[in-house]
Amino acid sequence: MADAAVLPAPAAKRVPGRFWIVPPAALLALLFFYPLVLIVQQAFMDDSGMANVGEFVRVLHARFFLNALINTITISVTATAGCLIVGLVLGLILAFVPFPGSGVIARLIDTFIALPTFLVTLAFTFLYGSAGMLNAGLTEAFSLQAPPVNFLYSTWGVVLAEVTVYSPFVLRPLLAAFSLVDRGQIEAASVLGARPFRIVRQVILPAAVPALIAGGSLCLLLTVNEFGIVLFIGAKGVITLPLLIYSKAIQESAYQVACIIAVINIALSLGLFGLYRFAAGRLGA
């Protein structure tokens, strides 16, 4: 009743208010979408300004590009799988086998989202680098000649760093989903003699699937776009698409090649963004 009396008033004012969206939209169009269009334009144009896909096709078939593409996808998929496993294990324990202080720990892990990603890589060089703590310890303990642990400067180093940085993005929606699971159902199941593994599989996991899909697709997107971790590891064999864009543009001043790679990287990212929006939309529904 009250609504009926109030609603017509804003509806009448709707028409002039519509233009308020123009200033922020124009700002974003100038500073973000216009440069984006220019990247696409540069990718498909030769020096004389004519449309030309020759260079695009050449880069697409180039060894350095294919290697970077394969690296990017392998790292992204492996790291996302790792994030899902770590996020699920941490989430299950935090939600269903809580201990004193688990709330504080959950919030601590959450603040990792705000920290710069390269922090973890820098820490890993101290921990697992060729002169790091682990190698120093092992060389001393077993009097070895060469450092035994050297996964850091390979794709595995990047994957481990990305799992650390991005598993909070799985944990966050997962804990939200777990908080909705009926505790009485779990207690009833375990009183009736169901083993924890079975309860996880039949009661908890079905409730967590949307959160896992949303968190996983966000991880795919973020790991495809990740730059700092790969740059800081600085391994010659580990080049991903964002790193290739950087080295082509800044180190070689090959702007057209950089734009071509950027177009492909952006297309890949936007596809994953669509996947994430779709998954997150279903999570909200």
Partner 1 sequence: MLVWSRPGRIVIWLVFTLLFGVLFLAPLAVILLSSLADQWNGVLPSGLTTEHYSDVVQGAAWKAVKASLVTGFLASAVALVSGTWAALALRIQDATLARVLGVLFFIPSAVPSVSVGLGLLVAFSHPPLLLNGTIAIVMVAHFVLISAFTFGNVSAGLARLSPDFEQVASSLGARPAYRLRHVTLPLLAPYLVAAFGLSFALSMGELGATVMVYPPGWVTLPVSIFSLTDRGDVFAGAALTMVLVAVTLILLLGLERVTGRQARS
List the interface residues with partner 1, window 139-168 (CB under 8 A): 140, 163-164, 167
Tokens 């003699």 correspond to: 193
Quick check: 106 and 178 in contact, CB under 8 A? no
CA distance 11 to 273: 34
Binders of partner 1 in range 16-75 (CB under 8 A) = 17-18, 20-21, 23-25, 27-28, 31-36, 38-39, 42
Binders of partner 1 in range 213-242 (CB under 8 A) = 221, 224-225, 227-228, 231-232, 234, 241-242
Binders of partner 1 in range 3-22 (CB under 8 A) = 3, 5-6, 9-10, 13-14, 17-18, 20-21
The minimum distance between CB 32 and partner 1, in angstroms, equals: 5
The minimum distance between CB 221 and partner 1, in angstroms, equals: 6
Which C-beta is closer to partner 1: that of 53 or that of 115? 115
Q: What share of the chain is helix, strand, coil (3-state, %, to 5)?
A: 80, 0, 20
Coil, strand, or helix at residue 111?
helix
In the numeric block, which tokens belong to residue 183?
């505790």
In the numeric block, which tokens belong to residue 109?
């892990």
Site string for partner 1, 187-206 (x = CB under 8 A): x--x-----x--xx------
Strand partners, 51: 45
Amino acid of residue 137:
G
Which C-beta is closer to partner 1: that of 136 or that of 235? 136
Which C-beta is closer to partner 1: that of 199 or that of 211? 199
The minimum distance between CB 142 and partner 1, in angstroms, equals: 13
Quick check: 181 and 203 in contact, CB under 8 A? yes
CA distance 94 to 125: 29
170 binds partner 1 (CB under 8 A): no
